[in-house]
Structure 1
Amino acid sequence: MATINLDRRSFLKAAGGLGALSVAGAGLAAPDRRAFADETAFPEQKHGNPVEATIDPKTGDVTVNEDVIVRNSACLGCYSSCGNRLKLDRASGRLLSVGGNPYHPSCAYPYLNFEDPLEEAYRTMSFAHGKGNIVRATVCGRGQGTQDGYSQPDRVTVPLKRAGKRGEGKWRPITWDQLITEVTEGGKLFADIGENQDIEGFKALHDTETPMNPDQPDLGPISNQVVFLGGRGDGRTTIGTRFSSNFGTINQYGHGST
């Protein structure tokens, strides 16, 4: 193998010469114009979800795709109460994607004012009209998991009524009207599976005057037999408090996953 003797001065001269050639473009293949699309020749979209809007990069004009619904909302993935941004297909109601809410300080900084129109949100999340993508609006992996929870095949979307013995794990779907009627009116609600027990409904227990037990007045009125046990408090605590206080029971409790 031949050995090349090159001192430091010669090496620097050679490196400088190569640098000059690179700047001048000598010895470098010119880029093939076929690799670059014309600015106006964007290919037709064939895959992925439909875009919700397009923005003219020069004027900033927004053209909304009416086939897509966009809703800025709040995430229930954890207790941080961040925002989220949902894209839905108008025709089917199918959830297309989940992203960050540009109006929420936990998703974007700087974030948009609530008064800013949705068109401004489209502009600031793009590079159009000199906006420079100033509001990126992101959401974490748990927030992204909302889409999996929404489309989960075992997700409960209707009221379920027990269709077997307690603990047997048998259920059947019922309508919301049936649920409200049975919970309110009471009666022999499980006669169809052979249970003869008469179950009191809300109407029978809505009594704030009669003591639950005259010998133990500290237990309060009959209405205290209703116990409201809620989960995490994403608005449900407020609703539960209003219902419980108006119904006349002091027995309202919260229980989260912790």
Structure 2
Amino acid sequence: MGSKNIDRRTFVEAMGALGALTVAGATLGTQPTAAVAAESAFPAPAKGKPVEASVDPKTGEVAVNEDVVVRYSGCVGCYCSCGNRVKLDRETGSVLGVGGNPYNPADAYPFLDFEAPLTEAYQSLSYANGKGNLLRGTVCGRGNGTLDGYTQPDRITAPLKRAGKRGEGKWKAIGWDQLIKEVTEGGKLFADIGEDRDIMGFKALHDTETPLNPDEPSLGPVSNQLVMLGSRSDGRGNFSSRFASTFGTINAYGHASS
């Protein structure tokens, strides 16, 4: 504690105020300072992002900042099915921060009952009202890295179409309507860069009667030329496997099965 003495009550109340700071979005590693005194009001952060709420360290009363939207969701950084807690700026919709979800068993123990009100979630992330900060929801570095992924300047946010030779690494963004039309209809899709090759679209490939190669019947129908490769078990895998089965191709492979 340094050279200065501090009595037990002052220390406990200062830690309570620090717990309120944690909910407000202050860094989890922040240490109590002279500004966090036992009798001080909840301090506004001097820097950083907008606070989402304040929790009175004595009564547990929650005051929510309506300019910040909090959504409890699930992390898809890996396959562990952890929860996450995303803070958004109401005006711009931009992500302010990502943290753990106190309702999720993978994030907190003991975890909150799913029916517990959101006020209890705020309290559980602080030292307020006897909570003791035992329920602080946490996520790993990959989960916390969601914010970096979201703000990554090279993040792909639109369909990309090849704009050069294969392997040349040249791409251009196209609209979703164009993507759907070209993938469905097919044709000379790269005529603009000098390629004269006809590419089959989904409509032409959706043929479960005509053999792909009459001399090799084991290859199955034309529809087997569609290959579904890669997905994950958070719903996308179920969608892609159902699509492949309905389309009529046996060539559907999961993310790890290759």
TM-score band, normalised by the shorter chain?
0.7 to 0.9
197-206 or 111-120, larger mean C-alpha shift = 111-120
Unpaired segments of 5 or more residues in structure 2?
A: 6-33
Which one-letter code corresponds to 2:82 in the other structure?
A: C
Number of residue pairs the alignment of both structures matches: 226
The 5 A counterparts of 1:120-159 are 120-159=120-159
Question: 1:112 is matched with which residue?
Answer: 112
Instruction: Tell me how far apart the structure 1 counterparts of residues 161 and 211 of structure 2 sit (CA, whole Å).
Output: 31
Instruction: Tell me how far apart the structure 2 counterparts of residues 47 and 67 of structure 1 sit (CA, whole Å).
Output: 17
Superposition deviation, residue 247 in structure 1: 1.0
SS of equivalent to 2:69 = strand
Unpaired segments of 5 or more residues in structure 1?
A: 1-21, 23-33
The 5 A counterparts of 1:1-258 are 37=37, 39=39, 41-256=41-256
Instruction: Tell me how far apart the structure 2 counterparts of residues 256 and 67 of structure 1 sit (CA, whole Å).
Output: 42
Instruction: Tell me how far apart the structure 1 counterparts of residues 50 and 133 of structure 2 sit (CA, whole Å).
Output: 20
Higher relative contact order (CA 8 A, sep 6+): 2
Contact 2:42 2:56 in 1 (8 A): no
CA RMSD of the aligned region, Å? 2.4
Instruction: Tell me how far apart the structure 2 counterparts of residues 232 and 98 of structure 1 sit (CA, whole Å).
Output: 22
Instruction: Show CA shifts across 1:59-118 (max 9, x none).
Output: 544332221121222223333232221112122222211211111111100011222232
Instruction: Show CA shifts across 1:37-61 (max 9, x none).
Output: 5735444433111121223445544
Instruction: Tell me how far apart the structure 1 counterparts of residues 191 and 221 of structure 2 sit (CA, whole Å).
Output: 29
Instruction: Show CA shifts across 1:7-48 (max 9, x none).
Output: xxxxxxxxxxxxxxx9xxxxxxxxxxx977573544443311
Instruction: Tell me how far apart the structure 2 counterparts of residues 257 and 132 of structure 1 sit (CA, whole Å).
Output: 45
Which one-letter code corresponds to 2:64 in the other structure?
A: V
Bigger CA radius of gyration = 1
SS of equivalent to 1:110 = coil
Identity of aligned residues (%): 69
Which one-letter code corresponds to 2:217 in the other structure?
A: P
Normalised by the length of structure 2, the TM-score is 0.78
Instruction: Tell me how far apart the structure 2 counterparts of residues 50 and 256 of structure 1 sit (CA, whole Å).
Output: 41
Q: Aligned pair in 2 of structure 1 residues 66, 36: CA closer, same or farther (>3 Å)?
A: closer
Contact 2:164 2:170 in 1 (8 A): yes
125-134 or 146-155, larger mean C-alpha shift = 125-134
Instruction: Tell me how far apart the structure 2 counterparts of residues 59 and 127 of structure 1 sit (CA, whole Å).
Output: 11
Q: Aligned pair in 2 of structure 1 residues 211, 130: CA closer, same or farther (>3 Å)?
A: same
Instruction: Tell me how far apart the structure 1 counterparts of residues 82 and 169 of structure 2 sit (CA, whole Å).
Output: 35
Instruction: Show CA shifts across 1:141-196 (max 9, x none).
Output: 22222222221111111111000111111000111121111111111111111111
Q: Aligned pair in 2 of structure 1 residues 163, 35: CA closer, same or farther (>3 Å)?
A: closer
Normalised by the length of structure 1, the TM-score is 0.78
Contact 2:188 2:199 in 1 (8 A): yes
